[in-house]
Amino acid sequence: MSARVFQADVIIIGGGIMGSAAAFFLRRRGRSVILLERGLLGQQASGTNFGNVRRQGRALLQLPLANRSLAIWQKLPELIGEDVEFLPSGHMRICYGTDRLAMFEDYARKARDYDLELELLSGAKLRERFPFLGPQVGGASYSALDGHANPRLAAPAFGRAAARAGAQIFENTEVVAVEKDGVDFRATATDGCTFRAPAMLITAGAWANKLSTQFGETVNLVAHGPQMGVTEPVPYGLKTVVGVSAPTDLETLYFRQIPRGNIIFGGGQRGPAYPDLQRAYVRPENTLNQLRQLQRIAPALRQLNVIRVWSGIESYLPDDFPIMGASARVAGLHYAFGFCGAGFQLGPGVGDVMAELIATGSTSTPIAPFSISRFVQPETLAATA
């Protein structure tokens, strides 16, 4: 096959939930879009994560973005024409003992300024509302509007909606080289096809650093694998997503039940992930720790069986904040990657914000703290052109 050349207003590299949502929102702003994905849409971190649509517990600086995203989740499925099983079931952070209640209170007070309403529960009131909690659970912070969705469906659904709206989506297309060639960016795939556009958005998760490095913007991006599991289905009763706030990783578990009946869980220590091999593993000892910890949260879970565990490839940055916004060095280049295991809820909002930024040159949602410039020294554009 002869190598072909494709042209659009924007090239997006990486078809996770960030890239798929960005493609969708760019089309709504009338921009022509090429979305390039090495494998299939939403296969990596976007498809293997826990499925939390949670605002509470995030750094306050992330809440405006999380709120914008929640507003999009709340418009599903009408907005994209497909159900991704978003359920605003409520989300509860719990702690063992009462040591962390002051921290919960402090967070709740500050979060109110960001329109995140949290209800604090402890003692008899907590047991009455959530009788399944174990005796070690001492308090909870409840967010009524948060919930969960199905990560296996979300990114592909945004991708299909983008395609229906006219985006050109190329799956199984691995980009090997990116450069800015005069006014246009050029991405070259392994099959020799080239893609040209005056704007580029890199949403390639754990693989983004290989691309940003080609523009002189190397960051310390590290891959880890979430440690997920799911039980056999049992009658639907635990409607609230539950996550532990604890001083150690080992205790930081979370779970949710889906109407089908299965209980999905994750947390504890992370597992090994190998972006170059496209493999990530669940450590068996992590699974056993999860079983132990989950019984602390809800003793009734001890009756159940785990039927499957899985992992994926997530990317982390040293300060636990993502990289999002314009390049520090190259005009027209944008990034949204490295969401540190907490990107799923943000995905639709990130897509919307990046589309706004690329289409208008600015965004109404504050994202300055996530700029790549915190890791990369800006250079004059003349030096890189």
Q: Does 303 bind other proteins (CB under 8 A)?
A: yes
Q: Does 15 bind other proteins (CB under 8 A)?
A: no
Close Cβ partners of 284 (under 8 Å, ≥ 6 residues apart): none
Contact window for other proteins (CB under 8 A) among 245-253, 297-305, 334-342, 366-374: 297-305
CB of 308 to other proteins, least distance (A): 5
Round to whole Å and give the CA distance between 270 and 257. Answer: 22
Q: Does 87 bind other proteins (CB under 8 A)?
A: no
How many residues sit in the footprint of other proteins (CB under 8 A)? 28
Round to whole Å and give the CA distance between 147 and 153. Answer: 16
Choose between 4 and 308: whose C-beta lies nearer to other proteins. 308
Close Cβ partners of 325 (under 8 Å, ≥ 6 residues apart): 334, 335, 336, 357, 367, 368, 370, 371, 372
Instruction: Classify burial at 1, counting beta carbons within 10 Å of its beta carbon; exposed 0-12, middle 13-18, buried 19 or more.
Output: exposed
Q: Does 296 bind other proteins (CB under 8 A)?
A: no
User: Judged by CB under 8 A, which of 61, 165, 234, 304 binds other proteins?
Assistant: 304
Choose between 152 and 186: whose C-beta lies nearer to other proteins. 152
User: Judged by CB under 8 A, which of 101, 144, 176, 291 binds other proteins?
Assistant: 291
The amino acid that residue 90 corresponds to is G
**From the CB of residue 209, how many other CB atoms can be counted at a distance below 10 Å?**
24
Whether the CB-CB separation of 201 and 309 falls below 8 Å is answered with no
Q: Does 259 bind other proteins (CB under 8 A)?
A: no
Q: Does 209 bind other proteins (CB under 8 A)?
A: no
Contact window for other proteins (CB under 8 A) among 52-60, 64-72, 280-288, 314-322: 280-288
Closest CA to 241 of 251, 228, 253: 253
Choose between 40 and 103: whose C-beta lies nearer to other proteins. 40
Q: Does 309 bind other proteins (CB under 8 A)?
A: yes
Using the CB atoms, write b or e for 134-168: b if 16+ within 10 Å: eeebbbbbbbebbbbbbbbbbbbbbbbbbbebebb
User: Judged by CB under 8 A, which of 31, 58, 160, 270 binds other proteins?
Assistant: 160
User: Judged by CB under 8 A, which of 3, 71, 102, 307 binds other proteins?
Assistant: 307
- Say what angle helices 151-164 and 17-28 make with each other, to 10 degrees: 30
**From the CB of residue 315, how many other CB atoms can be counted at a distance below 10 Å?**
27
Choose between 51 and 57: whose C-beta lies nearer to other proteins. 51
| Contacting positions for other proteins (CB under 8 A) | 40, 47, 152-153, 156, 160, 231-232, 281-284, 287-288, 291-292, 294-295, 301-310
